[in-house]
Structure 1
Amino acid sequence: MHRQNAAEGGPVRVGITGVGSCLPDRTVTSEHLRQRVATASGLPLPAGVFERVTGITTRRVAAEGEYASTLAVTAARTALDRAGLDPLDVDLLLFASATRDMVEPATAHIVQAELGSRAHALDVTNACNSFVNGIDTARAMIMAGRARRALVVTGETPSRAVRHRPDSLRQFRDGFAGYTFGDAGAAVVLEPVERGGILDVDTETHSEHWPVGGIAGGGSRHPRGEEHTYFHGDGRELREVFEKVGASVLDRVRRRTGPEWADYRHVLVHQVTVPYLERFREITGVPADRLVVTVPETGNVASATLGIQLDRVHDGLRPGDRVLFVGLGGGVSIMTMVWEKS
């Protein structure tokens, strides 16, 4: 377990001063996806099965010629505009995502070239916690005096890791989590603030569960082969890990920053399926009116999930409002962050 508290980190406070997101134009319904998979595979998939099991009705899918960097750049331009900044005002750019355009170079350079920035640019990758990890990393660098203003972006295209032609029910089940995926981008600007800002960050990592799911291709274990480019995973095992340790992580952050759920204007949580979100509420007791529910219409957009939710509520926040971020990523890692609007 690793924790940082702003009160212990010196006088520098770091806040979020600009937010942006991007959803591709193309919408794919769960029923359309089911028909495509059933037709391609010949498997007897009952009508409506995807929506019944996941609660997801639609998801956005990147078009041909749209990439992770494309979605990140669009979100980044919005975030910079809302912060009143030019790309050249940023001296740190982190592309923080489970998806990337290619193995090498870092996708941050592709984003930077498109934006026209000259910042120190690098990638941060930690499955669905990548974006929150990127925010935490940027905050730490600003507090350490290594950067003045940071742009953290994500672009997620996990829909391209979905197996549309499974050759058996076993293969279908192994990759079922992939049928929840949608594509999206998100971005935030971070800079020093006089009050509020990011107040608390907490992480807990259980790496013994790393084989629970992922995309094996592209690394040194499986550098080539289409078989390794599809997502596989056991969503049930991932949920069991969270149920064992997730509530204790939330209890810790609440003891430090706000013991009542009413102390937070919103609770933004990574959303995989509707039943998973309902189970989260059951375990934690988070009131429904504190959640920002996106998964039925966007699907699981990996690390962009919390950024999409933040963008939807940002304009309605007032100074002093606190937002609790709750991230869960393969590996397995759990992360919380408390941000107070300045």
Structure 2
Amino acid sequence: MSVTRTAVTGVGGYLPETILTNEDFSRMVDTTDEWIVARTGIRKRHKAADGQVTSDLAVEAAKVALAAAGRDISEIDLIIVATTTPDMTFPSTASIVQHKLGAKGAAFDVQAVCSGFVYALSVADGFVARGLSKAALVIGAEVMSRILDYTDRSTCILFGDGAGAVVLEPVAGQGTPDDRGILSFDLQCDGSKTDLLYVDGGVFEDGHRVGKIRMQGNQVFKHAVQKISEAAEAAIEKAGVHHDSVDWFIPHQANQRILDGVADRLGLDRAKVISTVADHANTSAASIPLAWFEGVKDGRVKAGDLVLIEALGGGLTWAAAAIRL
């Protein structure tokens, strides 16, 4: 049976030039490099420059992905940006990215916090696989530094800025797990857990204050390992593949202990985990495509590989997908 799959044909990433180390944070709050590394695995993170906004990062990542795919921006007819730190309340950051790149077609944002990239990928898959888009850009981009409370050591050390992007195009398949392209998704949300991870300000709550991230870290950690593992298991089952077939596990880069815990729970060799949390920290919706880009750059992730991606974020939202490259 012939089917149309959505293939990832190019991956790109971008990180701002400024780097904040754990030593830098030890001069801001009561913490040390040893304390941060032991609890999170993070050693440094990137920070956007003054005046550098989410769309700027997104554009740079998109250019790299387009070059990798061998596509010109004129061939892109859909842009979806996953972000929780948009340039403005409206219009969408995707609209701004479209203008900066000189593209045409549809453009809009998806907001599912750290799960946003997987959610956006699922939306784009609906367009591409149904013939509604000939070539799409899905971008995860964040300037998390703008919503951090730099007096709260439990959250300010965790996040960084960055952007990652993929180009998606339709390919013919036979409807089997050996097909190139996106094989499955599992998307979930539990809105009763909004108090575990949120920003304490917004349009309706306070028109004069930018909210800051608030988190019940222990509770988020507990839910993360369980929920992410369940979503990943579901994506593997829906794809019709086995755990042993997974070549690379590219998770949301929240915390090294979470990455290890999920890999162990899924029975995946830790050597198959792409981890950038030490160098990037948690870049929210950007973290999966940034880690994916690093794996492509260093030659680990290559054509034909079966990749498993996953994330958990505020909402709580969580999601996973299985993709054949």
Q: TM-score with structure 2 length normalisation?
A: 0.91
Contact 1:157 1:182 in 2 (8 A): yes
Contact 2:80 2:107 in 1 (8 A): yes
Matching residue within 155, 161, 174 for 2:147: 161
SS in 1 for 2:200: coil
Matching residue within 70, 75, 99 for 1:84: 70
Q: Deviations over 1:38-86 (max 9, x none)?
A: 3xxxxx5457433333221111111112111111000001111111111
* Structure 1 residues 13 and 137: alpha-carbon distance in aligned structure 2, compared to 1, 3 A threshold: same
Matching residue within 168, 178, 199 for 1:190: 168
SS in 1 for 2:219: helix
Alignment of 1:86-125 (within 5 A): 86-125=72-111
SS in 2 for 1:180: coil
SS in 2 for 1:12: strand
Does 2:227 match 1:280? no
Unaligned runs of 5+ in 2: 174-179
Q: Deviations over 1:142-201 (max 9, x none)?
A: 22332221111122111222212x3xxxxx36xx12321111111111110124110111
* Structure 1 residues 244 and 289: alpha-carbon distance in aligned structure 2, compared to 1, 3 A threshold: closer
Which residue pairs with 2:37 in the alignment?
Answer: 51
Matching residue within 108, 111, 119 for 1:133: 119
Which residue pairs with 1:4 in the alignment?
Answer: none
Which residue pairs with 1:26 in the alignment?
Answer: 18
Which residue pairs with 2:311 in the alignment?
Answer: 327
* Structure 1 residues 12 and 46: alpha-carbon distance in aligned structure 2, compared to 1, 3 A threshold: closer
CA RMSD of aligned residues (A): 2.0
* Structure 1 residues 116 and 204: alpha-carbon distance in aligned structure 2, compared to 1, 3 A threshold: same
Contact 1:142 1:192 in 2 (8 A): yes
Report how many residues are paired. Answer: 317
Which residue pairs with 2:155 in the alignment?
Answer: 177
What is the CA–CA distance in structure 1 between the aligned matches of 2:147 and 2:63, rounded to whole Å? 27
SS in 2 for 1:53: helix
Alignment of 1:203-214 (within 5 A): 203-214=187-198
Which residue pairs with 1:14 in the alignment?
Answer: 6
Contact 2:225 2:258 in 1 (8 A): no
Contact 2:228 2:320 in 1 (8 A): no
Contact 1:98 1:127 in 2 (8 A): yes
Contact 1:238 1:330 in 2 (8 A): no
Give the drift of 1:318. Answer: 4.1
What is the CA–CA distance in structure 2 between the aligned matches of 1:150 and 1:47, rounded to whole Å? 41
Contact 1:155 1:184 in 2 (8 A): yes
Deviation above 6 Å: which 4+ runs of structure 1? none
What is the CA–CA distance in structure 2 between the aligned matches of 1:242 and 1:312, rounded to whole Å? 23
Matching residue within 282, 287, 290 for 1:305: 287
What is the CA–CA distance in structure 2 between the aligned matches of 1:14 and 1:253, rounded to whole Å? 16
Contact 2:137 2:168 in 1 (8 A): yes
**Sequence identity percentage:** 29
Contact 1:103 1:218 in 2 (8 A): no
Higher CA-based Rg: 1
What is the CA–CA distance in structure 2 between the aligned matches of 1:248 and 1:181, rounded to whole Å? 25
What is the CA–CA distance in structure 2 between the aligned matches of 1:46 and 1:337, rounded to whole Å? 36
Which residue pairs with 1:269 in the alignment?
Answer: 251
Give the drift of 1:299. Answer: 0.6
Which residue pairs with 2:177 in the alignment?
Answer: none
Does 2:296 match 1:314? yes
Q: TM-score with structure 1 length normalisation?
A: 0.86
What is the CA–CA distance in structure 2 between the aligned matches of 1:49 and 1:95, rounded to whole Å? 34
